[in-house]
Structure 1
Amino acid sequence: MQELEAVRAATDPLDRVRLATEALAGYQEAIADLGRIRRDAVDYLRSQGMTLSDIADQAGVSRARLSQLSTTKRTPERIIFSEGSTITIAVDTKQEESGRPVVHQEHTAAIEILTRTARKVGLEVNETEYIVSPGLIDLNREGLVVVCGPRRSPLIAQMLAADERYGFGKDDQGWYLMDKSSGEQYRSPEDSGKPGDYAYLGRLPRPDGRGFWLYMAGIHAPGGQGAAMFLEKELSDLYRDAKAGRWSCLVKCQWDSTTGQVQNAELLTPIHHVGRPGARSRRK
């Protein structure tokens, strides 16, 4: 190490202090960078289904050391997901002709995004549930995140009816999202052959009144992925604006017409904060 040799070679004590301080600052920055790189790698491997034991064994490192150094500090933003230490992600399914339930590809991507986002704020995914017909789900649970359209669950439809600002509607042309205060309707670009969709995103009260659950769903499946992308990107601002309160908004997303990959997501309408007169407007 050249810096270390330079410190050792210095004869003036003041030069040693200066050189050692500069070297330590450089090493600390490098250590922090290496730690972030390792945490990102561990998070990715865990999102692919590997356990810490699997990673430690295959990487040839101590599991205890890996667990200690890869632990993510809990941040205030985690309150949007849960007041505890874990979350449960529940997603809807569709039935194949054989009767076997399957998960939309976009909802699988949403699970990965939500898992990554939760881990960034110090939470772990306790379980992933799959909602099947007739769409029954226990909403009175701490740390519940639901990705399920109202067409798949009448219970979800009933819960969304309590939102005085935003919600889903249906007519002879199909499903749409709406701003109840203005009466404006938002029909998915996908319905007219364009590569885009709209989604509802909100933190809603539990039926038992003892907390909240996080909800997102598109008019079509890509909208759910777009809502998860928006949540990941804007989590800090959502926490800053709403803290642990109740809020809802509509999100729009677009995807590459060639690959089908959702590329970006942003606000379609202002964020509605229950009990507050203001709302954050569209953010680029």
Structure 2
Amino acid sequence: MEELRKARETSDPLERVRLATEAMADYQAAIAEFGKLRRDAVDYLRSQGMTLTEIADKAGVSRARLSQLSAAPKRAPERILFSEGSTVTFAVDTKQESGSGRPVVHQEHAAAIEILNRTVRRTGLEPVEVEYIVPPGLIDLNREGLVVICGPRRSPLIAQMLAADERYGFDKDADGWYLYDKATGRQYRSPEDSGKPGDYAYLGRLPRPDGRGYWLYMAGIHAPGGQGAAMYLEQGLNDLYRDVKATRWSCLVECEWDPESRQIQRAELLAPIHQPGRKSARKRS
């Protein structure tokens, strides 16, 4: 294989990492697609009355392997909210650890990734990597299956991408950051800023800069909001897919947590789902 030869021959370890990672992603996607084709073929033959033993004998493969295939989870249509391929990469912002100055991930963002891992696996996708966004917040958005948790204060690039949303966005003034509805002018300031156990978040599927697909984005005014957005996505995945399918969309989410444990107890829409081209945003509880 040409990709394997190139990775073996390069003397630069960083280049070897890049080549190997890109090749693995390509082959994983191809393997997943072959698996789907094989699984669909087995399902069709069984619907025609053939047994697994008959299929295995005629195809020249083992019955044990076909049994594993028939038990494998199928890829759900809701997966399109995350990826048109078979894998998902999570990119999350970091903060500097006091004292050492090392980049660390917010506890709430780590919890959000755990929720997202569970959710994407439910659709038949495979999480393959977690990337950490460090100052100045640069990130390659032109990739398939990218999910980003990063506030605009951590990344000017993210701030620029959000500015293209004609309905919802982040802004700041002397009192701090807030979310707002560009159509109505209404501002949403985090309950946490007034000492209450809650936060607001932006959630949306946004176009890639190269125009060749989308990436999924979520971020709270504060870190807990990102976890709340992930929880809303997990709980409302089926309904959200029925509403938006494979289109571009955005909404605002609110969440509330237990003051003592800080475990999020509730996540729901704060402002309706907006899709460019539709006359009005749609509400969903």
Tell me which interval the TM-score lies in, with the shorter structure as reference length: 0.7 to 0.9
Q: Secondary structure at the match of 1:182?
A: coil
> 1:89 is matched with which residue?
90
In 1, the alpha carbon distance for the partners of 2:284 and 2:69 equals 40
Q: Which residue identity is paired with 1:244? A: A
- Map of 2:251 onto structure 1: 249
Aligned residue for 1:269, secondary structure, equals: strand
Find the counterpart in structure 1 of residue 175 from structure 2.
173
1:226/1:67 Cα in 2 relative to 1: closer, same or farther (>3 Å)?
farther
Q: Which residue matches 1:185? A: 187
Counterpart CA distance in 2 for 1:155 and 1:66 is 47
User: Secondary structure in 2 aligned to 1:244?
Assistant: coil
Question: In structure 1, which of residues 131, 134, 147 is the aligned counterpart of residue 133 of structure 2?
Answer: 131
Within 5 Å, which residues of 2 pair with 1:88-107?
Answer: 88-97=89-98, 98-107=100-109
- Residue matched to 2:278: 276
What letter corresponds to residue 108 of structure 1 in structure 2?
A: A
* Aligned-partner SS, 2:271: coil
Q: For residue 266 of structure 1, what is the amino acid of its counterpart?
A: E
Contact 1:177 1:219 in 2 (8 A): yes
User: Distance between the aligned counterparts of 2:67 and 2:226, measured in 1?
Assistant: 33
SS in 1 for 2:204: strand
* Contact 1:188/1:197 (<8 A) preserved: yes
Which residue of 1 is the match for residue 147 of structure 2?
145
Amino acid at match of 2:180: M
Q: CA offsets per residue over residues 215-271 of structure 1, 9 Å max, x none?
A: 000000000000000001111111111110000000000000011111110000110
SS in 2 for 1:268: strand
- Indicate the residue corresponding to 1:9 in structure 2: none
Q: Take 2:279 and 2:235, find their aligned partners in 1: how far apart are those partners?
A: 24
Q: Which protein shows a greater Rg? A: 1
Helix, strand or coil: the match of 2:272? coil
SS of the counterpart of 1:139? Answer: coil
- Contact 1:269-1:282 within 8 A present in 2 as well: no
Where structure 2 has 5 or more consecutive residues not aligned to the other structure, the ranges are: 1-63
CA distance in 2, matches of 1:282, 1:172: 33
CA separation of 1:253/1:84 partners in 2, compared to 1, >3 Å: closer, same or farther? same
Cα pair distance change 1:173/1:239, threshold 3 Å: same
Measure, in 2, the Cα distance between the counterparts of 1:71 and 1:110: 26
Matches within 5 A, 1:41-60: none
Please state how far the C-alpha of 1:66 moved relative to its aligned partner: 10
Q: Deviations over 1:133-169 (max 9, x none)?
A: 1100000000000000001101000000000000000
1:121 Cα offset (Å): 0.5
Partner AA of 1:155 in structure 2: L
TM-score by length of 1: 0.75
Partners of 2:110 and 2:66 lie apart in 1 by 31
The residue aligned with 2:73 is 72
- Residue 279 of structure 1 deviates from its aligned partner by 2.6
What amino acid sits opposite 1:234 in the alignment?
G
1:240 to 235, 239, 242: 242
Q: Is the 8 A contact 1:167 1:180 kept in 2?
A: yes
Q: Is the 8 A contact 1:72 1:119 kept in 2?
A: no
Higher deviation after alignment, 65-74 or 179-188: 65-74
| Candidates 208, 211, 233, aligned match of 2:210 | 208
TM-superposition CA deviations, 1:11-50 (whole Å, max 9, x none): xxxxxxxxxxxxxxxxxxxxxxxxxxxxxxxxxxxxxxxx
Picking from 245, 260, 265, the partner of 1:263 is 265
AA at the equivalent of 1:82: S
How far has the Cα of 1:278 moved from its partner?
A: 3.6
* CA shift for structure 1 position 126: 1.3
Percent identical residues: 76
Q: Describe the superposition over 1:71-101 as per-residue Cα deviations: whole angstroms up to 9, x where unpaired.
A: 3210111001000000000010000131100
